[in-house]
Amino acid sequence: YEALVRIRGAQGLIMPENIFPVVELRALESEFDLAVLERVRRDMEAGRIPEGAGVALNVSGPGIVSDRVNDKLMQFAPWLATYKLVLEVTETSLITQIAQASANLNRLRRQGFTIALDDFGSGYSSLRYLASMPVDLVKFDISMVRMLESGNARQQLMIEEIARMVIAAGYDLVAEGIESQTLLDKVVRLGFSHGQGYLFGKP
């Protein structure tokens, strides 16, 4: 399970593309992270998530260097015996304190969290952060995964070679946006270890 954010508005659901620009404009990333983490904690406490399941928690780049967010994440430590908790670091381009982020992630890893770099390939800094921070999983951005089906020969070759390089460096790879068996077969052949998308289940 991945904790995804939607806001119930008068006209229906407000989606992330309309939420995050406001959060970033007002520099509320850490407060936003805290609110989401608290909701997930309550859901786990109430037994809404089956024991033994994996639970992915998204934390922003600014949040990963925030003492308050890290203290909140440490409150999840008792659940690590019951759930596989994956911490997905998003918005890495907003991380300005790489050393502090790495120290915090290493502390969380020692507690038992699996660390994932989210939306790999969606920004210009992904390789830098992958090389600099302690990461277990790399989540290929949906735009890159879709290029394996719809891109031209050069684009497909580049994505395939990047995937092979990341695998060779020892990371597990997650393909986002799997919506067809054909695409699933392709990423499996390339060596991706995990996939997510509508083919497996809808939010």
CA–CA separation, 109 and 128 (whole Å): 20
* CA dist., res. 172 & res. 37, Å (int): 25
Question: What whole-number distance in Å separates Cα of residue 64 and Cα of residue 101?
Answer: 6
What single string gives the DSSP state of each residue in 67-131? HHHHHHHHTTGGGGGTSEEEEEE--GGG---HHHHHHHHHHHHHHTPEEEEEEETSSTTHHHHHH
| Catalytic residue status for 176 | yes
CA gap 68, 31 in Å, rounded: 9
Estimate to the nearest angstrom the gap between the alpha carbon of 143 and the chain centroid.
Answer: 15
Q: Could you say which of 51, 160, 176, 179 is catalytic?
A: 176
Q: Judge whether 191 and 167 are in contact, CB under 8 Å.
A: yes
121 contact partners, CB below 8 Å, separation of at least 6: 140, 141, 143, 144, 162
Which residues are known catalytic residues? 176
